[in-house]
């Protein structure tokens, strides 16, 4: 028989059971940026579909986007999945994305702003280009998409939900992450201000702040040593699966969170 310590270790590190869909978003139309691949955006697109929504995928990487569209359309039906490449640093591409949603679906109900860019660099060595690139994708890109969403809701008279992807580093310090932390803290402030303005439109704006959700891109831009260190700090002794973050996004997109706006929900197994 396991000791208490051994049993506790198994519980902390065990992968959770996948949660099936419950049709929480049936009949609704959602847009997800940076939705190609195996990260939080891709997991969110899948969870929205599993909950009954129609989903418009968007990503700056056209090839990966097409592959994601084809795979999800084969599983959930081509009538519920469409895609349009979009670089969130390009205003004309964002306008084209939201125009596409209006033309194909008559309007939107949910916008998930997931696009972001990270990297590691000591502030003393960080170039202006490194700083500006991270902020342009992560903060300015979110601003552009929130603005486009609110304009779409205002012009169509539809109510809806915006969910932004922030990060716990927007609250706490981490060496080498000054640009990313500043951008994510900005996303949090943007979320609160946008929520105040959007309330009159009947639109809710919230954000999630994950701590550590493992996916292939994160492995490419972060050292194995740092990932191991961050994982050990998590109370469950493991990183989050991307779909666990997506579950919280689904909650914020659903009517279960009807009285939440301007909130940043920490998706973390440790104190934010």
Active site residues per annotation:
180
CA dihedral 237, 186, 191, 104 (to 10 degrees): -90
Using an 8 Å Cβ cutoff, are 187 and 164 in contact? yes
CA pair distance 66, 64, nearest whole angstrom = 5
Q: What are the backbone angles phi and psi of residue 54, rounded to the nearest 5°? A: -90, 140
CA pair distance 42, 34, nearest whole angstrom = 8
79 CB-near residues (< 8 Å, 6+ apart):
54
CA pair distance 42, 213, nearest whole angstrom = 13
Q: Which residue has the tokens 């396991």?
A: 2
Cα 178 to Cα 121, 127, 269: the distances in Å are: 8, 12, 23
- The dihedral built from the CA positions of residue 44, 45, 51 and 54, taken in this order, carries a sign that is positive
């Amino acid at each position: 028989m396991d000791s208490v310590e051994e049993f506790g270790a198994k519980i902390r590190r065990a992968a959770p059971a996948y949660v099936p869909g419950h049709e929480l978003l049936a009949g609704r139309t959602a847009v997800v940026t940076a939705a190609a691949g195996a990260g939080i955006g891709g997991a969110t697109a899948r969870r929205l579909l599993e909950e009954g929504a129609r989903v418009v995928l968007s990503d700056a990487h056209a090839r990966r986007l097409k592959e994601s569209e084809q795979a999800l359309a084969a599983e959930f039906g081509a009538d519920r999945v469409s895609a349009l490449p979009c670089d969130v640093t390009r205003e004309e591409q964002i306008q084209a994305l939201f125009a596409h949603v209006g033309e194909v679906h008559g309007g939107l109900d949910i916008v998930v702003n997931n696009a972001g860019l990270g990297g590691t660099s000591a502030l003393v060595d960080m170039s202006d280009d490194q700083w500006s690139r991270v902020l342009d994708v992560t903060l300015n890109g979110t601003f552009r998409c929130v603005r486009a969403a609110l304009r779409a809701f205002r012009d169509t008279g539809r109510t809806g939900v915006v969910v932004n992807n922030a990060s716990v580093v927007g609250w706490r310090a981490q060496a080498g992450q000054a640009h990313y932390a500043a951008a994510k803290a900005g996303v949090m402030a943007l979320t609160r201000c946008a929520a105040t303005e959007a309330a009159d439109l009947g639109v809710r704006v919230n954000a999630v702040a994950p701590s550590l959700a493992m996916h292939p891109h994160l492995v490419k831009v972060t050292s194995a040593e740092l990932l191991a260190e961050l994982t050990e700090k998590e109370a469950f002794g493991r990183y989050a699966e991307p779909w666990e973050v997506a579950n919280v996004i689904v909650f914020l997109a659903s009517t279960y969170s009807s009285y939440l706006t301007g909130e940043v929900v920490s998706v973390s197994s440790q104190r934010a």
